[in-house]
Amino acid sequence: MAEKKNILTEEGLAKLEDELQDLKVIKRKEVAAKIKEAREQGDLSENAEYDAAKDEQRDIEIRIEEIEKILKNAEIVTSEDVDANAINIGSTVRIRDLEFNEEMEYKIVGSTEADVLGNKISNESPVGVALIGSKAGDTIEVETPNGEMVQYQILEIK
């Protein structure tokens, strides 16, 4: 079975590569120093600092493996791939909730990069799916998890 492609923007790719570099070069050395320091304190069976450092080391290695797997299966969406007239991954869109007359701005990204608090929504989310392919001026309907329909007007695509 082929693994799912991880769709990333250029920005998301750079962020993951930077995190991977930081984990491999800096964090690994820091945690190795903590382990060495904890070992020098003697009895490891009752050494909380040693246990905490080993847990941190395990977490770092898991995250490194996770990032490497994401990057191995990455499909990068470049700015040249993005049609300025229609919404796609990499587009930033300004929309208005027609019920509450509220404006919002989101960047459409792959699920790996999604961060609602950072206004980055996945192309696989209900709103993302409805937005893909739409144009400025269009009105879209999105079904919420509780079954209600919400309407958004697309104001601008960047």
CATH number, residue 123: 3.10.50.30
**Phi, psi (5° rounding) for residue 35?**
-65, -45
Give residue 33's Cα distance to chain centre: 30
Q: How many domains does the chain have?
A: 2
**Average pLDDT, integer, range 83-98:** 90
Residue 139 and residue 96 share a domain = yes
pLDDT band for position 145 (cuts 50, 70, 90): confident
pLDDT of residue 47: 82
Of 36, 56, 77, the position where a domain reaches its end is 77
Contact of 126 with 150, CB cutoff 8 Å = no
Give the global pTM. Answer: 0.78
Q: Would you say residue 113 lies in a domain?
A: yes
Does residue 118 form part of some domain?
yes
The single-letter code of the amino acid at 18 is D
Q: List the domain range (segments joined by +) for residue 19.
A: 6-77
Asked if residue 46 and residue 13 are part of one domain, the reply reads: yes
My answer on whether 127 and 149 are in the same domain is yes
24 and 64 belong to one structural domain: yes
115 is a domain residue:
yes
Is 1 contained in some domain?
A: no
For residues 61 and 58, give the distance between their C-alpha atoms in angstroms, rounded to a whole number: 5
Q: What is the mean pLDDT of the chain?
A: 91
Over residues 36-75, the pLDDT tens digits come to 998 888 777 778 888 999 999 999 999 999 999 999 999 9
Q: Which of 25, 52, 77 is the last residue of a domain?
A: 77
